[in-house]
Amino acid sequence: MAPTSLAASLLLETFVVNEIARSLSASSVAPRLHHYRDHQRHEVDLVLERSDGAVAAFEIKATTSPSVSQLRHVEWLRDRINAAAPGAFRAGILLHTGDQRYTVGDRLHICPIDTLWA
């Protein structure tokens, strides 16, 4: 990825995470926000965890053509959480700059970023 593309991608990711955090600040539910990365190179842009253990995970991509493969780390996290605490993983969402919206697997969704304001 070119340096300009990388900078734009990081800026978009920061913007989206801040928008999610801002909208949650008005909520009575106060989930913890995390970025996940491990030594096996699994990385998830944003993980929300409520005090009751419920988890939602987000990938943020600067693309108008999202692909299911971009959710591979969220899918891995879903399976890992399900093994430890069945039912705790509630949703994995790929937010992107296009307009496509669909479900791609068990609790995995692809949605446009503007879904945040819908």
| pLDDT on residue 27 | 83
- Per-residue pLDDT at 1 exceeds 60: no
The CATH number given to whatever domain includes residue 32 is 3.40.1350.10
Report the predicted TM-score, pTM, of the whole model to 2 decimal places.
0.92
Overall number of domains in the chain: 1
| Cα–Cα separations (whole angstroms), residue 27 to 22, 24, 60, 72, 96 | 9, 5, 22, 29, 24
Query: How far apart, in whole angstroms, are the C-alpha atoms of residue 82 and residue 73?
Result: 14
| 41-86 per-position pLDDT tens digit | 999 999 999 999 999 999 999 999 999 999 999 999 999 999 999 9
Domain extent for 70: 3-117
